[in-house]
Amino acid sequence: VAVPAMLSLPVIMVLSGITEGANSLLGGLNWQSAVLSVWEPIYCIAMSIMLLNLFQHRFNRQGTLGRVMSKNAYAVYIIHPLVIIPGAYLLRTVSLDPLLKWALISPMLVALCFMVSHWLVRRIPMTEKIL
């Protein structure tokens, strides 16, 4: 269903006049908006099911890093504000585009969250049973 829906989008766009500058993407009570409003959830649900199936059958293995990250995921969920907020605060004076700053610092802060979880938080007695 996802592939035909994906292939039908250009046809829908041409037939509805979107390619000629019509504003049917802005919504409203018109047939173009109705068609796109029906097409979108069909495509999104079909693509979600297709991706779930693909990953279930093709990418269902877990390496050492994946196992370590899985064991620490809940602890990271709990502690991530304690790592990410100070990290972002330290960079408040760096004059870069905010999106570029986010792209540069996010991978480092996420990795730091997993390191703090693995080497500090989960080493505290009794946390292994909870986290």
From CA 120, how far away is CA 109, in angstroms rounded? 15
Residue 87, Cβ density class (10 Å: 0-12 exposed, 13-18 middle, ≥19 buried): middle
Question: Does this model's pTM top 0.95?
Answer: no
pLDDT digits (tens, 9 = 90+) for 32-43: 778 888 888 999
pLDDT digits (tens, 9 = 90+) for 50-89: 999 999 999 888 899 999 999 999 999 999 999 999 999 9
CA torsion 28-31-32-34 (nearest 10°) is 70
Q: Cβ(5)–Cβ(43) under 8 Å?
A: yes
Name the DSSP letter for residue 33.
Answer: H
pLDDT digits (tens, 9 = 90+) for 3-17: 888 888 888 888 877
In this predicted structure, what is the pLDDT of residue 129? 80
